[in-house]
Amino acid sequence: MEIKSKVQFADEKLKESFYNLKNGDYQEKELFKFLTQTFENLEENAFCGIQIKKKLIPKEYVGKFGITNLWKYDLPKGWRLLYSIIGSEVVVICLVLEWMNHKDYEKCLRY
């Protein structure tokens, strides 16, 4: 099933971090490009990531963001984007929670 969505950041600090990547070093600019493409993909299909089992959702995310689902999107070079799908059938929002390298992703989800 494909559902269009609007991408939003979980908080202003994360949004600021994203835009700061644009003016960073080569690796940060590259990550900015990967994330920008990912956000476009999420806007076309909120379900293009891989759903994380509910029992693996970090309690920190549930408490901080009040989410009931968690999705990951595999970025190039081992990076991961974590997001949650919120809203109704009228408006679907992909709430970007965090991006991290693969090592931190495994630690976050206790793999």
Total-model pTM: 0.83
18 falls within a domain = yes
The answer to whether residues 10 and 65 touch, using CB atoms and an 8 Å cutoff, is yes
44 falls within a domain = yes
Residue 89 pLDDT more than 70?
Answer: no
1 falls within a domain = no
Q: At residue 101, what are phi and psi to the nearest 5 degrees?
A: -75, 170
Q: Where in the sequence is the domain holding 68, given as residue range(s)?
A: 6-108
48 falls within a domain = yes
For residue 20, the number of C-alpha atoms closer than 13 Å in the C-beta half-sphere is 6
- Residue-wise pLDDT tens digits, 38-67: 999 999 999 999 999 999 999 999 999 999
Q: What is the pLDDT of residue 66?
A: 94
The answer to whether residues 5 and 92 touch, using CB atoms and an 8 Å cutoff, is yes
Report the number of distinct structural domains present in the chain.
1
74 falls within a domain = yes
Domain CATH for 69: 3.30.2310.20
68 falls within a domain = yes
Pick from 19-23, 34-38, 42-46, 92-96: least confident: 92-96
For β-strands 92-101 and 6-9, DSSP reports them as: parallel
